Amino acid sequence: MWLDRISPQPNTLWRGSWPGHFVEPARYLYDHELVLLSKGKAVLEVEDRRWEMTPGTFAIIPPDTKHVTMAKAGSVFRSCIHFDWISTGHAVRRPLCSYYPKRPVRRWLVSKPPFVPFRFLTGQYAVDGAVPALVETIFLRWQTQEAFHRALSRSALLELLIQLLYPSSRRGARPDRVTQLAYAAKETLDQEGRRSDLSVVALLESLGYSYPHVCRLFRKTFGLSPVAYLNAQRLERAKSLLRQPRITIAEVAYQSGFRDPGYFTRLFHKQTGQTPGRFRRELR
């Protein structure tokens, strides 16, 4: 999804009230501007489009685009965040805008990346939801003028853009059942892996599916079988136990989850190229 590829950088933040019938002069931006209206009514004209803004509406205005904002009767309150879709890693000093008829300096313009699927966008948000709180967080962090808090404001801006732009059709989508079952199997093995009396087949069939089915999905997700995963987990525990000189090799095998010390030794040698005893001696 394209929202996974953005790393927004706030550049300039400002907010405040306009009196009724106020008209902002026509202008061109150097970066993108996110405008959120929380009080009153206004009209936004972007090139040949005209859109009425009410509380709980937002617009993203692209750079180098002539636009005019007009307040209707009554006071208007809006929050404006100028940003780049992709962070450059450092602050970019550029003018906020150029007022019509003066055009912006081309070398300072920052266009959207090709994967952003729109140029100009309007939408709505819940005035009693997460968006107003995120806007407040961004402004509070930004106004400290501290590098640390301004860096944190980047993550809040990313969350804000996701809240505003994430497709409603994909919200609450059911998780991938293949991955869900594979991770349920992994968690079950992690919880029970130390038991030497463990039946992997019975344990995984307790999830409500046949062992071959769970095994196939587990291998597809993690690249190895449940038994191979469990043995790898047990061998790592065995290596830790071998650091304790008073525990015998057989006890290491049992405490790691192996019922047969001989099988443990063969498996250990296959993985490390050493017997458990030699591994312990080299640790010393």
Domain segments of the chain as ranges: 2-170, 177-283
Token output for 41: 């009514």
Predicted TM-score of the model (pTM): 0.66
Q: How far is CA 61 from CA 57, 73, 122, 186, 214, in A?
A: 13, 23, 9, 47, 50
* Domain 177-283 part of CATH 3.30.460.80: no
| Alpha-helix residue ranges (DSSP H) falling in 144-225 | 147-165, 177-192, 200-205, 211-222
- Show Cβ contacts of residue 226 under 8 Å, excluding neighbours closer than 6 positions: 185, 189, 200, 204, 214, 215, 218
For 2-170, CATH number?
2.60.120.280
Tens place of pLDDT per residue across the chain (284 aa): 899 999 999 999 999 999 999 999 999 999 999 999 999 999 999 988 899 999 999 999 999 999 999 999 889 999 999 999 998 876 667 888 999 999 999 999 998 999 999 889 999 999 888 999 999 999 999 999 888 998 999 999 999 999 999 987 777 656 667 788 999 999 999 888 777 777 889 889 989 899 999 999 999 999 999 999 999 999 999 999 999 988 999 999 999 989 899 999 999 999 999 999 999 998 87
